[in-house]
Amino acid sequence: AQSVTQPDIHITVSEGASLELRCNYSYGATPYLFWYVQSPGQGLQLLLKYFSGDTLVQGIKGFEAEFKRSQSSFNLRKPSVHWSDAAEYFCAFLTGGYQKVTFGIGTKLQVIP
Amino acid sequence: DSGVTQTPKHLITATGQRVTLRCSPRSGDLSVYWYQQSLDQGLQFLIQYYNGEERAKGNILERFSAQQFPDLHSELNLSSLELGDSALYFCASSNGYEQYFGPGTRLTVT
């Protein structure tokens, strides 16, 4: 079955520390992959995407993600976290001819001083 | 600001009632998607429209229906509401592979 797994429901990091949010997908081919961020009470904002080509993609707000085909992973990283990064992060992939997006369950990021 | 607008922002209604949520896509986007986000189910895809026609269906209940009008705005109709329908309802639009989300409508069924 097609699915996205975000194994960490909740992560706490100190401000200034590095961050890695994990995402694994299950799909028969390489899907189009996305990371979205949702701040409290807000809609989802697209952070970055991977369609093909360079497996390290840069996004907004200093985030990057690396696609690893062998591990079916698309982990999100940031070298130094800011308090404003506290939010919920969703990994997602696009499949099918009708552009159906499947979302992971989300990872809530807490940033402590 | 994604360019996608949704109204109303909040909606409180009673069980058994019917409500309509409205979405205006980004200028030029032909596709509109509806999602439901709840604490227990996460973010669930409901339905997609493309240029006025239904394209894909997800976990949409029979009590729910949607349509996309010639001006490309879309409405999601929820009827015979139950307590469990309380959730955030998002609309997203796209003209390619990336979806841009609106701010959502928070529906509370009492």
Q: Using an 8 Å Cβ cutoff, are B35 and B46 in contact?
A: yes
Q: Is A69 in a helix, a strand, or coil?
A: helix
What tokens were used for B70? 């010639």
Residue B105 in this model has a pLDDT that exceeds 80: yes
Angle at B65 between CA B63 and CA B70, to 5 degrees: 165
Interchain proximity B45–A45, CB inside 8 Å: no
* Rounded Cα distance, B63 and B77, in Å: 8
Question: Which pLDDT band holds residue B18 (cuts at 50, 70, 90)?
Answer: very high
In DSSP terms, A109 is beta-bridged to A11, A87
Contacts of A90 in chain B (CB under 8 A): 43
pLDDT digits (tens, 9 = 90+) for A30-44: 789 999 999 987 889
Residue A69, min C-alpha distance to chain B (Å)? 20
Rounded mean pLDDT of B15-35? 96
* Rounded Cα distance, A110 and A14, in Å: 8
- Provide the phi-psi class of B104: left if phi over 0, else alpha when psi is between -120 and 50, else beta: left
The alpha carbon of A10 is separated from its chain's Cα centroid by a whole number of angstroms, namely: 13
pLDDT digits (tens, 9 = 90+) for A56-95: 999 999 999 999 999 999 999 999 999 999 999 999 988 7
Q: Is A85 in a helix, a strand, or coil?
A: helix
Contacts of B58 in chain A (CB under 8 A): 100
* Rounded Cα distance, B94 and A21, in Å: 26
Count of A-B CB contacts under 8 Å: 53
Question: Which pLDDT band holds residue A12 (cuts at 50, 70, 90)?
Answer: very high
- From chain A residues 10-29, the ones with a CB under 8 A of any chain B CB are none
Question: Which pLDDT band holds residue A27 (cuts at 50, 70, 90)?
Answer: confident
Alpha-carbon distance values, A75 to A24, A95, B28, B99 (Å): 8, 19, 32, 20
Q: Is B14 in a helix, a strand, or coil?
A: coil
Question: Which pLDDT band holds residue A11 (cuts at 50, 70, 90)?
Answer: very high
Of the candidate ranges A12-26, A83-97, B1-15, B80-94, the one whose mean pLDDT is the lowest: A83-97
Task: State whether residue A108 sits within 8 Å of chain B by CB.
Answer: no
